[in-house]
Amino acid sequence: MNTYSIPEALTDLAQTLLDEARRRRLRLVTAESCTGGLIAATLTEVSGSADCVDSGFVVYSNRAKEDVLGVSGDLLMDHGAVSREAAIAMADGALGRTHAHLAVSVTGIAGPTGGTEAKPIGLVHFACAREGATTAREERFGDIGRMQVRTASVRVALEMMIDRVREVQVPEVSSAP
């Protein structure tokens, strides 16, 4: 039986993200394919995460991406589930279906099967959406092992979210009498 323990480096990143989001009164949502919920699991591993975590979607199949997040079937046919376009549509869909202020999405090929010459094992696409702005990123981790690809993807997703959260100004505390 395989067991997974969330690495301390990832829970440290999650703590940083949650602290930054809490200071800005932001709620977070995840839309995950190849990570299978590991980003949400890492966030909720931190005590008090309910202050900031709105929800998490695991949308492994194309049908789930369409039905749950509203990703266009045409987009998936034209670009594939593992694409920049799909990652952006997933993040935008998650943001639009929740009360969250920031969404992250991940779609990729963790291996050991499923890779092609055009889309090799270790290819992962990320997107991070905030109202009015979605950023995307591609990583090619290589064939480093399924769990290693997934763990590296969690790290990148958390780092992207930290960067995006820090773009939001911290609200001033009112000192009303």
- Mean pLDDT, rounded, for 155-159: 98
- Supply the pLDDT for residue 175: 60
Alpha carbon 66 to its chain centroid, in Å, reads: 17
- Supply the pLDDT for residue 177: 59
Alpha carbon 147 to its chain centroid, in Å, reads: 16
By residue count, the chain amounts to 177
Q: Is the pLDDT of residue 174 over 70?
A: no
Q: Which domains does the chain have, with CATH numbers?
A: 8-165 (3.90.950.20)
Q: What string of H, E and C letters represents the secondary structure of the chain?
A: CCCCCCCHHHHHHHHHHHHHHHHCCCCEEEEECCCCCHHHHHHHCCCCHHHCEEEEEECCCHHHHHHHHCCCHHHHHHHCCCCHHHHHHHHHHHHHCCCCCEEEEEEECCCCCCCCCCCCCCEEEEEEEECCEEEEEEEECCCCCHHHHHHHHHHHHHHHHHHHHCCCCCCCCCCCC
Q: If you average pLDDT over every residue of the chain, what do you get?
A: 95
- Supply the pLDDT for residue 62: 98
- Mean pLDDT, rounded, for 123-132: 96
Alpha carbon 160 to its chain centroid, in Å, reads: 9
Q: What is the CA radius of gyration of the chain?
A: 16
* Banded pLDDT at 21 (limits 50, 70, 90): very high
pTM assigned to the model? 0.95
